Amino acid sequence: MKIFVNCLTISRFVVALFLPWMKYQYSSYLFLCVLVLLFLTDTIDGFLARKFQVQTFFGALMDTIADKALNIILLLCLLSSCPLLWVILLGEIIIFGINSIAFLTGKRIQASIFGKAKMWLVAFSILFGYLYEFQGCDYSWVVSGAVLAFVSQLITIVNYVQTLFLHPTFVSKKKEKVPFQTLLFDTQYYLENRS
C-alpha cells in the first residue's frame, strides 16, 4: 500500500508536466476530466496513507511538490486568457517557499483545515479558469473563484508563518543521524518525528 500511495502522488507530478501539451491534444471535456482526477488524487493519496498508516517523509514531501507543480503549471497556462490568476500563482509560489524553508530548517508544517480549504478553492479557481477559456462559464466565475482562493491563500500564509516562526514548539531540534532510507520511507519514524 505504501508503494501504491507514493506512486499515486508521483503520478500527479508526472502528469502535471505533460498538461500544457495535453491541453492542445485532448478535447476540452477530456482535459477537464483529467484535471478533476488529478485534484482528487491529492485527497485520495492522503486519505489512503492515513487509513493504512503508511505515511512517510517522502510521501509528505512529494505530495507538497506534486501539488505545487500541478497548480503552478496549470496557472501558468491560464495567464494569457485569465491574467487575474497571476495573484493565485504568486500565492502558490509564496506557500511553496514557506514549505521549502520549513523543510530546509528541519521543521514540518502539519496539514490544517486552512490548507485543505485553500487547496480546493485554488482547484476550483483553476477549473473555472479553464471553463472560461473553453467558453464553458462567464468570467465572473473566475473572478469569484480567484477572490476566494486568494483570501484562503492569505489565511494559509499567516497560519504557516505563525506555526513556523512564532510557535515555540516548532523550534528545530538536533536529531540523531538516521539512514537515508529510514528518513524518507519509514512510517514509524515519520509518525514519531512529523511535528
Alpha-carbon distance 148 to 41, whole Å?
22
Q: How many domains does the chain have?
A: 1
Residue 189 lies inside a defined structural domain of this protein? no
Residue 191 lies inside a defined structural domain of this protein? no
> Is the separation of the CB atoms in 149 and 82 below 8 Å?
no
Angle between helices 57-78 and 2-25 (to 10 degrees): 10
Residue 185 lies inside a defined structural domain of this protein? no
> Is the separation of the CB atoms in 59 and 8 below 8 Å?
no
Residue 181 lies inside a defined structural domain of this protein? no
Domain with 40 in it: 2-171
Tell me, what's the pLDDT at 191?
Answer: 72
**φ, ψ of residue 159 in degrees (nearest 5):** -60, -45
Residue 178 lies inside a defined structural domain of this protein? no
First-to-last C-alpha distance (Å) of the chain: 23
Residue 104 lies inside a defined structural domain of this protein? yes
Residue 186 lies inside a defined structural domain of this protein? no
Q: What is the pLDDT along the chain (195 residues), one digit of tens a residue?
A: 889 999 999 999 999 999 999 999 999 999 999 999 999 998 999 899 999 999 888 888 899 899 999 999 999 999 999 999 999 999 999 999 988 888 777 776 777 787 889 999 999 999 999 999 999 999 999 999 999 999 999 999 998 888 887 764 544 444 556 666 666 777 777 777 665
Residue 68 lies inside a defined structural domain of this protein? yes
CATH number at residue 69: 1.20.120.1760
Tell me, what's the pLDDT at 97?
Answer: 92
- What 8-state DSSP symbol labels residue 164? I
| CA nearest neighbour of 141 among 84, 100, 181 | 84
